[in-house]
Amino acid sequence: MTRFAAPIAEQIWDMKYRLKDANGTALDISVEDSWRRVARALAQTENDPAAWEDRFFDALADFRFLPAGRILAGAGTGRAVTLFNCFVMGTIPDSMSGIFDMLKEAALTMQQGGGIGYDFSTIRPRGAAVHGVAADASGPLSFMDVWDAMCRTIMSAGSRRGAMMATMRCDHPDIEDFITAKQDAARLRMFNLSVLVTDAFMEAVKADGPWELTFAGKVYHTLPARDLWNRIMRATYDYAEPGVIFIDRINRLNNLSWCETIAATNPCGEQPLPPYGACLLGSVNLARLVAAPFTPAARLDLDALEELVHVAVRMMDNVVDASRFPLPQQAEEARLKRRIGLGVTGLADALMMLGLRYGADDAVAQTEAWMKAIAEAAVRASVALAREKGPFPLFDAEKFLASGMMQKLDPDLRAQIAEHGIRNSHLTSVAPTGTISLYAGNVSSGIEPVFAHSYTRKVLQKDGSRTEEEVVDFAVRMWRETHGDTPLPEHFVDAQVLEPIDHLRMQAAAQAWVDSSISKTINCPEDIPFESFQDIYLQAWEMGCKGCTTYRPNAVTGSVLSVSETSDKTPEADSGAETVYLTEPLDRPAALEGATYKLKWPGSEHAIYITVNDIVEGDKRRPFEVFINSKNMEHYAWTVALTRMISAVFRRGGDVSFVVEELKAVFDPRGGAWMTGRYIPSILAAIGGVIERHMISIGFIAGEGLGLKTDPRALAEPAAAEIPEVAPETTERPRGPACPNCGAYAMRMVEGCMTCADCGHSKCG
């Protein structure tokens, strides 16, 4: 018997959370071993570790409490990784030395697996005078490019590549460039962008008034506020970025408004944090707490919820003491405030089990009631911990109770806080749970609606054969088990049929009892008129949200899942995604066809020879392995490493063209080279161009992709037999980026993160 509700859940556990040694041998034999490892590690700070280990294990069992991925993957491993998912870094000084000190801190944080958020509003605008050196400033966007390059080169701990959030105030002189920065498809790809929107700006937008762009007291430019607002909305409509953060509301409602100022969030936006603040996340799985689902007696077990929240708060509080921190400033910030972010997942599934339609009045009311119950239970748990272990060190009863969400608590809870203190300054947050929701059996993620009731996932096996696997939403699967082929009730809605207002109402209802913030994406139909779209963020502000993110599929952002016209509008994977996931690498045939290319890098004495061998699957040819050779011994180590890494990726299958994109984006800080009239930023970028040429010639890709927009044919000349001409496929290549982990065209925006519906890979989770 297996604890996993679906094959994909077990695969997620094996890939991301299962403890393995350096050779890949599993040390966690079962998921129970993983639960036990985490429970034991977090119980070590207790006076009675054995007793609390068992209670923590029970909370983890059956996926009822889901700690964030860094905790599941890192707790109890003995490895030098942080258990905190993300950080907001220190305030960036407006000086060259200060900026690069901050860059170093960011690199050290990402090295241990932490995503980071930064406010770039503190850097003087482009063209401003730099006194003492007779020069003009290059502006914050130029330094964001440096951060972006750094992030590309550092692989975060485990299987997660670093994610970053960049914010900029709506009154910064470079805000217009910030809004459009990612419209260059090769720029700032490691960043999410959000504009820090003030109440004054929103009032100016509503009044159609002027808006001044200022820095250090100097007005650089004045423009109509509505023009700037429309630029934000048009960019979001066409490119899905930037999002907006209502920064004045965040600071006004902050539980610690009296001792900290917030100017940035973690990469997904659910944790507004002060400088060096840490993001500690976990989620209660509401779908596992529903009694008598799909019956008139269906209800959420509030007693079980209360008990689970109490244990979860204690576990998360212990993480503060059990975790490593990349920087001492982060450790001190976490110790002084003991901030945690307990959230939910499976909300939409739980609502369906109770017969409620996502976004309807009764579902909105039920959501707010559940979030209030969780918030109050968390406060009671934190007060109990304060009685036992002491309140957070900066606790000041009078100031704390007069701030943030504390003002709306019932009098009895306020009295308990006044008497005993509280262990944690912040308690609730709704995180993106894309990966852990798959791990928990494909429950609906966070407070999002169900994205798709089911879809078919094609899995490439080790022998080259393909199998099909249906991935079904948790609640839908439960319905099928009890009702057979009976059609789904009308309240079983998914994201394809919901209006933006349905999303907003649910987000606002949840936000009422969340003292941090919420990661949520409003998925909009492709054909929504701009006139309807442009009011979404304004409605979010008026409804009390702390931020807003939207995603409208189109030719630029990508069409993530297609809807079959012959079905009942259930999304399915795009027909172009024939190879989506590989459980194990393919076996190597005895003989392969390929070609060798000669690359002569300017200034280098010896040429580099690049061999790309292909494998044929059915009637299609795809790259299988790469060999990179040079007589220059200075190249030996990195060419061997690159050979092994690229070949390992190619043998995993899927759309591996992302390898080209990544290579072509690498720049050498010592400088690149001009080749046939084009600037190539590094020798690695040149190698990427060669591999891209090969992919085009065999029909694996239709043409040049994103990146440097260079002509790869100018980079190398054939050195061996020419590759036979293979006509590109006539079917249109699916729009949008493929998943960098499994190759499926199943990336979708979930709670601010691009997340793969097939393998669970997430850029920031």
pLDDT at position 757, please? Answer: 66
Residue 408 or residue 577, greater confidence? 408
**Which of 696, 718, 740 lies at the terminal end of a domain, its last residue?**
718
Section 169-177 average pLDDT? 98
Q: Clarify whether 270 is annotated catalytic.
A: yes
- What confidence tens digit (pLDDT) does each residue in 485-497 have? 899 999 999 988 9
- What confidence tens digit (pLDDT) does each residue in 683-706 have? 888 998 899 888 888 888 877 654
CB 420 within 8 A of CB 443: no
Q: What angle do CA 5, 7, 9 make, to 5 degrees?
A: 65
How far is residue 499 from each of residues 116, 358, 523, measured CA to CA in Å? 32, 10, 9
Q: Among positive and negative, which fits the CA dihedral 487, 489, 494, 496?
A: positive
pLDDT at position 575, please? Answer: 35
Residue partners of 488: CB distance under 8 A and separation at least 6: 453, 476, 479
The pair phi, psi for residue 342, each rounded to 5°, is -85, 125
CB 378 within 8 A of CB 313: yes
Residue 474 or residue 607, greater confidence? 474
Q: Among positive and negative, which fits the CA dihedral 486, 490, 492, 494?
A: positive
In a domain, 595, yes or no: yes
**Residue 423 identity (one-letter amino acid):** R
Write out the residue range of the structural domain in which residue 95 sits: 86-134+141-246+260-264
Choice among 52-56, 147-151, 434-438, 458-462 with the minimum mean pLDDT:
458-462
The overall average pLDDT reported for the chain is 86
Q: Clarify whether 268 is annotated catalytic.
A: yes
CB 308 within 8 A of CB 59: yes
pLDDT exceeding 90 applies to what percent of the chain? 60
Active-site entry in 86, 151, 170, 268: 268
Choice among 83-92, 165-174, 621-630 with the minimum mean pLDDT:
621-630
The pair phi, psi for residue 563, each rounded to 5°, is -105, 125
- What confidence tens digit (pLDDT) does each residue in 96-112 have? 999 999 999 999 888 87
Give the residue ranges of DSSP H helices in 522-635. Answer: 530-533, 536-542
Which contiguous run of DSSP H or E holds residue 587? none
In a domain, 9, yes or no: no
Instruction: Round to whole Å and give the CA distance between 325 and 651.
Output: 36
Q: Is the pLDDT of residue 251 over 50?
A: yes
Q: Clarify whether 632 is annotated catalytic.
A: no
Quick one: tokens of 262? 């917030």
pLDDT at position 764, please? Answer: 56
**Which of 679, 699, 718 lies at the terminal end of a domain, its last residue?**
718
In this prediction, residue 587 has a pLDDT band, given cuts at 50, 70 and 90, of low
pLDDT at position 635, please? Answer: 76
In a domain, 571, yes or no: no
Helix and strand numbers, DSSP H then E, in the chain: 24, 33
- What confidence tens digit (pLDDT) does each residue in 256-288 have? 999 999 999 999 999 999 999 999 999 999 999
The SS3 of residue 532 is helix
In a domain, 221, yes or no: yes
Phi-psi region of 757 (alpha: psi -120 to 50; beta: other; left: phi over 0): alpha
Cα 137 to the center of its chain, rounded Å: 32
Q: Is the pLDDT of residue 729 over 60?
A: no
**Which of 264, 299, 334 lies at the terminal end of a domain, its last residue?**
264
Nearest alpha carbon to residue 240 among 192, 197, 199, 207 = 192
Choice among 519-523, 596-600, 602-606 with the minimum mean pLDDT:
602-606
pLDDT at position 721, please? Answer: 33
Choice among 180-194, 390-404, 610-624 with the minimum mean pLDDT:
610-624
CB 147 within 8 A of CB 106: yes
- Residue with the two structure tokens 């939409």: 348
Quick one: tokens of 162? 């670093």
pLDDT at position 709, please? Answer: 34
pLDDT at position 591, please? Answer: 76
Instruction: Round to whole Å and give the CA distance between 55 and 94.
Output: 49
In this prediction, residue 579 has a pLDDT band, given cuts at 50, 70 and 90, of very low
Residue 162 or residue 124, greater confidence? 124
Residue 114 or residue 73, greater confidence? 73
Instruction: Round to whole Å and give the CA distance between 180 and 174.
Output: 10
Active-site entry in 85, 192, 251, 266: 266
CB 433 within 8 A of CB 282: no
pLDDT at position 196, please? Answer: 98
In a domain, 199, yes or no: yes
pLDDT at position 668, please? Answer: 74
Question: Exposed, middle or buried: residue 394 (CB in 10 Å: 0-12, 13-18, 19+)?
Answer: middle
pLDDT at position 185, please? Answer: 75
pLDDT at position 361, please? Answer: 98
pLDDT at position 87, please? Answer: 95
What is the domain count for the chain?
2
Active-site entry in 53, 241, 260, 270: 270
In this prediction, residue 468 has a pLDDT band, given cuts at 50, 70 and 90, of confident
Which contiguous run of DSSP H or E holds residue 135? strand 135-136
In a domain, 457, yes or no: no
Partners of residue 395 on adjacent β-strands: none
Residue partners of 218: CB distance under 8 A and separation at least 6: none
pLDDT at position 677, please? Answer: 66
pLDDT at position 758, please? Answer: 62
pLDDT at position 682, please? Answer: 86
In a domain, 660, yes or no: yes
pLDDT at position 159, please? Answer: 39
In a domain, 691, yes or no: yes
pTM to 2 decimal places: 0.78
pLDDT at position 641, please? Answer: 84
